[in-house]
Structure 1
Amino acid sequence: MKDYIGIKEKYDIRLNSNESYIDMNKEIMIEMKSCLLDIQLHRYPENDMLKIKELYGAYADTQAENIIVGNGSDEMLELIISSLMGTGKKMLTLSPDFVMYDFYVSLFGGEVKKYKLNNNINFTLDDFIKLGIKEDVDLIMFSNPNNPTGLALAPTEIIKILEAFPDKTVVVDEAYYEFYGKSMIPYINTYKNLIVTRTLSKAWGLAALRVGFLISNLDNVKKLLEKKIPYTVNSYSQAMVITALKYPYRVIKNSKQIIEQREILSKELKLLEKNASMNIKFYSSKANFIFGRTLHKEALLNGLSDKGILIRDFPDDTFRITIGSPLENKKLIDGLKEIFIYEGAE
């Protein structure tokens, strides 16, 4: 991806990948590294990963038997899509949403049908359901909160989708759950068509380890395990994740801190939007990023790039900014003011 060319040399502030700006606690990191000394390189990784399932199950308030562990939530999404998609099959999602949904569906010969969010990022539940019925979709998948807009559906809304499509699988991608706080995991045994995916790459700050989860009722888990490739999570990642999962309080604390920074940044951006000499719009978010729109995106991207700040660019007039540290956010605001507010504007 072009975003990553020369990043280390060119950009001091990377607000493009929704990573956590909070690094691992030093004491925990030392413990994580020390556990690597016992790894036997001539042995395959543990395939069942029961300890990881037990620890994450305790954190997510579910049972180990309801969890599949994979090489990031991407592997879990691919596992689901590969099991349900094929020529003539259709998946319903939002537009915009996580680009990997489209990639995997096309990879397995399926077709993606999209409910387009308008410029105000409005979601009408009835229209979404009507579109799914009209297209006779085989799978429904969306991120919640939505990536990249930050829109979040309430559990009551998702339940209506589950009940409208009782014979269709509904996948709720909760990669950004910790920044929203509302999950569909409590409903996995009530709704047999529900699958939830999670990741350790965002709030847990373990993007480098590539570990994610699929959580569903036991029947779904058993069926999907029959199609899962073995040994996809390497021994180093497993060992370090087992240690990290013993300290869930760290994630809860860090998530609260990121949410606080999100709300502070949101207020600053809304104030900038109000006083901008060129049109720019920012949207409210329930994730660790803020979505925006401007017809002056070239000025935006070039201006921030000159200051060593990288944000996520999309093909249309939209962009996405990851929540950074207080200092990073201040530098971002200062840069945006130079670009969008004429000298002397209040």
Structure 2
Amino acid sequence: MKYEIEKRLLDMIPYKPIEGEFKVRLDANESFFSIPDNILKEFESSLKDIDFNRYPDPYSKEVCYRFARSKDIDVDSVIAGNGSDELINLIIQVFLKDGDKVLTLAPDFSMYRFYSDLRRAEVISVNNPYDEPIDVYALIQAIEESKPKIVIFSNPCNPTGQVISRDNIIKLLQKCPNILFVVDEAYMDFSDQSILNIAKDFSNVIVLRTMSKAFAAASIRLGFAVSNRELISTMKKVKAPYNINSVTQKFGSILLSHSEENKQRIEKIIRMRDNLYAGLQRYTDEIKVFPSGGNFIYVSTIRAKEIYDKLLSDGIAIRYFNNNTLRISAGNEEEQSALFSSLDNIFKNRGEK
């Protein structure tokens, strides 16, 4: 006799990021900026103020205040998480029961399904044709037919870059008032359709944000959820104690206090995304390129796996999906130049194996 792990757990497929060293990383939608020296010096100076022998602030009050202030929202409507992933998992674990239904889009961020499967929820995937705008009326119909407990999607959509307008998000919330919507705005710093400032006015929505993309701070694992006080209070009751370490809280607070520098970096990332989109247009006889509201561009081509493998051999990592699509993160000038140079060679030698 021995302890047996459930078969459903053994069969689960983990999230698998690309590992290894590459001269150009355009696979994970990270910022191509490093943290500026003046902010690093400010952070280094602040380390002496951290009581490393004590547990961190259990409610991350300072960094939540800084985030709320930077977004001009009520701090009581904010909770911090160890990356958005912790918050996604927390929401699914807390607001679902075994067998409840979760509705997601396909394609979308794979961890929505992963955490739902872990919770023993029934996952309903609504096909999202990535070559046209997301059909909100079709989404409402799917919700009315399937009656999920939670609807969760990213906006802008990862990986397609599609953006649902603020007005259409409001329409969803109003049309389905008894459904909890989780709107993951991880990439909304690169777009302009956020509902962050009105999330507290609805009983049925939680909005997620992250420091990993626009703020060049993926390594510190810091995210936020914004909602009405009742939902946030419930999440605070059941979250893990001391879930955000003191170093992350301090660094996040400092980073959020530099709003003008953050704004300038975001503007540069948007310009480089648009340059990437324009540059990829030269290959439209081989690939289809989709406009994006994120910090990445989505591409479809029957040669997706070949292109992915050849770029890897050139030391350039992008993201490959099994449906003959690729997602390419915006890089700096040098990185995108290297990408285009490799793509020129790939398409010039299209007949070679």
Give the C-alpha shift of residue 252 in structure 1: 0.9
1:217 to 188, 206, 228: 228
Change (3 A) 1:119 1:226: closer
Cα distance in 1 for residues equivalent to 2:145 and 2:328:
35
Equivalent runs, 1:84-163 vs 2, <5 Å: 84-118=95-129, 120-163=131-174
- Partner amino acid, structure 2, of 1:127: A
1:307 aligns with 2:314: yes
Given that residues 292 and 319 in structure 1 are in contact (C-alpha distance below 8 angstroms), is that contact kept between their aligned partners in structure 2?
yes
For residue 18 of structure 1, give the secondary structure of its aligned residue in structure 2: coil
Partner of 2:63: 52
For residue 168 of structure 2, give the secondary structure of its aligned residue in structure 1: helix
1:330 aligns with 2:337: yes
Cα distance in 2 for residues equivalent to 1:73 and 1:54:
17
Cα distance in 2 for residues equivalent to 1:99 and 1:121:
21
Partner of 2:18: 4
Give the C-alpha shift of residue 286 in structure 1: 0.5
Cα distance in 1 for residues equivalent to 2:124 and 2:79:
27
Question: Where does structure 1 differ by over 4 angstroms across 4 or more consecutive aligned residues?
Answer: none
Partner of 1:17: 28
Provide TM-score, normalisation by structure 1. 0.94
Given that residues 151 and 286 in structure 1 are in contact (C-alpha distance below 8 angstroms), is that contact kept between their aligned partners in structure 2?
yes
Cα distance in 2 for residues equivalent to 1:111 and 1:33:
47
1:248 to 241, 244, 259: 259
Change (3 A) 1:53 1:2: closer
Cα distance in 2 for residues equivalent to 1:289 and 1:49:
31
2:48 to 25, 33, 37: 37
Give the C-alpha shift of residue 305 in structure 1: 1.4
Cα distance in 1 for residues equivalent to 2:334 and 2:211:
25
1:74 aligns with 2:85: yes
Given that residues 102 and 148 in structure 2 are in contact (C-alpha distance below 8 angstroms), is that contact kept between their aligned partners in structure 1?
yes
Give the C-alpha shift of residue 299 in structure 1: 2.0
Between 1:201-210 and 1:238-247, the stretch displaced more is 238-247
Give the C-alpha shift of residue 232 in structure 1: 0.9
For residue 212 of structure 2, give the secondary structure of its aligned residue in structure 1: coil
- Partner amino acid, structure 1, of 2:322: P
Number of equivalent positions: 336
Change (3 A) 1:18 1:129: same
For residue 306 of structure 2, give the secondary structure of its aligned residue in structure 1: helix
For residue 172 of structure 1, give the secondary structure of its aligned residue in structure 2: strand
Between 1:15-24 and 1:85-94, the stretch displaced more is 85-94
Given that residues 96 and 148 in structure 1 are in contact (C-alpha distance below 8 angstroms), is that contact kept between their aligned partners in structure 2?
yes
**CA root-mean-square deviation:** 1.5
Given that residues 305 and 324 in structure 2 are in contact (C-alpha distance below 8 angstroms), is that contact kept between their aligned partners in structure 1?
no
Q: Which runs of 5+ in 2 are unaligned?
A: 1-14
Cα distance in 1 for residues equivalent to 2:199 and 2:211:
20
Equivalent runs, 1:173-192 vs 2, <5 Å: 173-192=184-203
For residue 56 of structure 1, give the secondary structure of its aligned residue in structure 2: helix
Give the C-alpha shift of residue 41 in structure 1: 2.4
Give the C-alpha shift of residue 190 in structure 1: 2.5
Give the C-alpha shift of residue 119 in structure 1: 5.0
Q: Which runs of 5+ in 1 are unaligned?
A: none
Cα distance in 2 for residues equivalent to 1:173 and 1:298:
28
For residue 63 of structure 2, give the secondary structure of its aligned residue in structure 1: helix
1:280 aligns with 2:287: yes
Give the C-alpha shift of residue 296 in structure 1: 1.2
Partner of 1:61: 72
Cα distance in 2 for residues equivalent to 1:302 and 1:54:
45
Provide TM-score, normalisation by structure 2. 0.92
Cα distance in 2 for residues equivalent to 1:80 and 1:50:
20
Given that residues 71 and 197 in structure 2 are in contact (C-alpha distance below 8 angstroms), is that contact kept between their aligned partners in structure 1?
no
Give the C-alpha shift of residue 282 in structure 1: 1.4
Cα distance in 2 for residues equivalent to 1:189 and 1:16:
34
**Identical positions, percent:** 33
